[in-house]
Amino acid sequence: MVKEGKDDHLPTPTSSNNARSNKKGRYLLYAILVPCFVLGAFVSSRSNYPSFVEWGTKINQAVSRCHQNTDNAAGVCVQARVLYPQSSKNAEVWTEFGKLLETDAFKTLAIDKLSGLIQIPSESYDNMPPPGEDPRWETMGQVHDYLARAFPLIHKTLSLTKINTYGLLYEWTGTDSSLKPYILAAHQDVVPVNPETIGAWTYPPYSGFFDGINIWGRGATDDKASLAAIMLTLETLLEKGWTPARMVVLAFGFDEEASGLHGAGSLGKALEETYGQNAFEFIVDEGGGFDEAYGTVFAAPAVAEKGYIDVKIDVTSPGGHSSVPPPHTTIGYLSSLITEFEKNPYPIELTRGSVPHDTLLCAASYGQTIPRDLKHAILKSRHSDKAMRKVEELFVLSNIWYASLVGTTQAVDIISGGVKANALPESASAILNHRINTESSIKETTTRDGHTIADLVYSFNLTLNAFGEDLIPASAYASKAMGHVELSLAFNDEREPAPRTPTTGKHWEFLSGTIKATYNAHRGLEGEDNIIISPGMSTGNTGFTDTKYYWNLTRNIFRYNHNNGTSAGVHTVNENIALDHYLEMVRFFTTLIVNADEADF
> Phi, psi (5° rounding) for residue 223?
-140, 25
Domain ranges for the chain, please list them. 1-72+364-395, 88-304+498-598, 307-347+407-489
- Model confidence over 167-188: pLDDT tens digits? 999 999 999 999 999 999 999 9
- Model confidence over 478-531: pLDDT tens digits? 999 999 999 999 988 899 999 999 999 999 999 999 999 999 999 999 999 999
- 218-235: average pLDDT: 97
Concerning whether 189 is annotated as a catalytic residue, the answer is: yes
Q: Which of 280, 291, 306, 93 is nearest to 184 (CA)?
A: 280
Measured in residues, the chain has a length of 601
Query: What pLDDT is recorded for position 345?
Result: 96
Query: What pLDDT is recorded for position 53?
Result: 47
Q: Which of 417, 422, 425, 415 is nearest to 329 (CA)?
A: 425
Pick the CATH number of 307-347+407-489 from 3.30.70.360, 3.40.50.12160, 3.10.20.30, 3.40.50.150: 3.30.70.360
State how far the Cα of 192 lies from the Cα of 568, in Å rounded to an integer: 16
Higher pLDDT, 271 or 403: 271
- Model confidence over 190-202: pLDDT tens digits? 999 999 999 999 9
- Model confidence over 273-304: pLDDT tens digits? 999 999 999 999 999 899 999 999 999 999 99
Q: Dihedral sign for Cα 570, 575, 578, 582, please.
A: positive
Q: Please tell me which residue in 123, 189, 449, 509 is annotated as part of the active site.
A: 189
Query: What pLDDT is recorded for position 43?
Result: 40
Rounded to the nearest integer, the mean pLDDT of the chain is: 89
Query: What pLDDT is recorded for position 355?
Result: 95
State how far the Cα of 541 lies from the Cα of 495, in Å rounded to an integer: 8
Least confident among 14-28, 285-299, 316-330, 557-571: 14-28
- 467-485: average pLDDT: 96
Task: Give the 3-state DSSP-derived string for 185-197, with helices as H, strands as E and coil as C.
Answer: EEECCECCCCHHH
User: How many Cα atoms are found within 13 Å in the side-chain-facing hemisphere of 250?
Assistant: 27
Residue 11 clears pLDDT 50, i.e. is over it: no
- 576-597: average pLDDT: 97
Residue 427 clears pLDDT 80, i.e. is over it: yes
Query: What pLDDT is recorded for position 567?
Result: 60
Q: What H or E segment, with its residue span, contains residue 514?
A: helix 506-523
Query: What pLDDT is recorded for position 71?
Result: 58
Distances (CA, A) of 528 to 80, 105, 302, 485, 561: 8, 32, 22, 59, 20
Number of H helices, E strands in the chain: 16, 20
Residue type, 386: K
CATH number of 88-304+498-598: 3.40.630.10
Task: Detail the DSSP E strand segments found in 190-240.
Answer: 214-216
Distances (CA, A) of 209 to 25, 307, 573: 58, 37, 14
Q: Please tell me which residue in 8, 223, 235, 256 is annotated as part of the active site.
A: 256
Least confident among 14-18, 403-407, 421-425: 14-18
- 582-593: average pLDDT: 98
Q: What percent of the chain has pLDDT over 70?
A: 87
Query: What pLDDT is recorded for position 58?
Result: 52
Query: What pLDDT is recorded for position 54?
Result: 56
